[in-house]
Amino acid sequence: MTCVVVDTNILFSILLRKRSRLRDVLFSSTSTRFYCCRFTIVELFKHKSKLMKYSAFSEEDLLVTFQDVLKRLIFHDELSMSPASIQTAFELCHDVDEKDTPFVALAIELDAVLWSGDKELREGLIKKGFDRFLII
């Protein structure tokens, strides 16, 4: 079973479009477990009005899709990650994009790949030796 840590920008992309390759990957993969940091739920709710404004969905359809997305994810509490994973992730992210530290830490913790649409993050982490990414 493949483990993939999904960052927030992937989820935003899935919630903005009715059809996309990202959405297909999340909903059709049967041999992959998708993980996410728990605080992502708060981030998505915090930006609900922006999602509503730019989404191709009606409000009701967006909420149904949001529920479907949540069902595909296994949420992991950031506070339960090991200090070593968090420290390693911080060292990798602090001068690239510090706010992505929890996602990188979770990928390290689970020995998973990271699914991020942030090209700058990927390039910065690859330069530092972290190269476990799901590229779609």
Q: Read off the pLDDT of residues 43-78 as tens digits, 9 standing for 90 and up.
A: 888 998 899 899 988 989 999 999 999 999 999 998
In angstroms, the first-to-last Cα distance of the chain is: 18
Q: How many other C-beta atoms can be found within 10 angstroms of the C-beta atom of residue 86?
A: 19
Report, as an integer, the average pLDDT of 4-8: 97
pTM exceeding 0.85: yes
Q: Read off the pLDDT of residues 108-122 as tens digits, 9 standing for 90 and up.
A: 999 999 999 999 999
Question: Which residue bears the tokens 């922006």?
Answer: 50
- What the chain holds in terms of domains, given with CATH numbers, is 2-127 (3.40.50.1010)
